[in-house]
Amino acid sequence: MRLVAAVMVLAGLVASPPLLAGTRLEPVTDPLTQKVCGECHLAFPPGLLPARSWAALVDGAADHFGEDLALPPGEAAQIRAWLTGHAGDAPVGSASGGRGLRDYMRWVAPAGTPRRITENPAFLREHDFSPRTWQDPKVMTKSNCLACHPGAAQGWFDDD
Binding site for ligand HEC (CB under 6 A): 5, 19-20, 22-23, 36-37, 39-41, 44, 48, 57-58, 61, 64-65, 67, 69, 79, 100, 116-118, 126-127, 129, 133, 139, 141-145, 147-149, 157-158
Euclidean distance between CA atoms 3 and 145, whole angstroms? 18
In the complex with ligand HEC, the residue whose CB is nearer, 63 or 110, is 63
Q: How far is the CB of 93 from ligand HEC (least distance, A)?
A: 20
Q: How far is the CB of 109 from ligand HEC (least distance, A)?
A: 17
- Say if residues 153 and 145 touch (Cβ distance below 8 Å): no
Host H or E run for residue 71: none
156 bridge partner residues:
24
In the complex with ligand HEC, the residue whose CB is nearer, 59 or 109, is 59
Euclidean distance between CA atoms 96 and 26, whole angstroms? 5
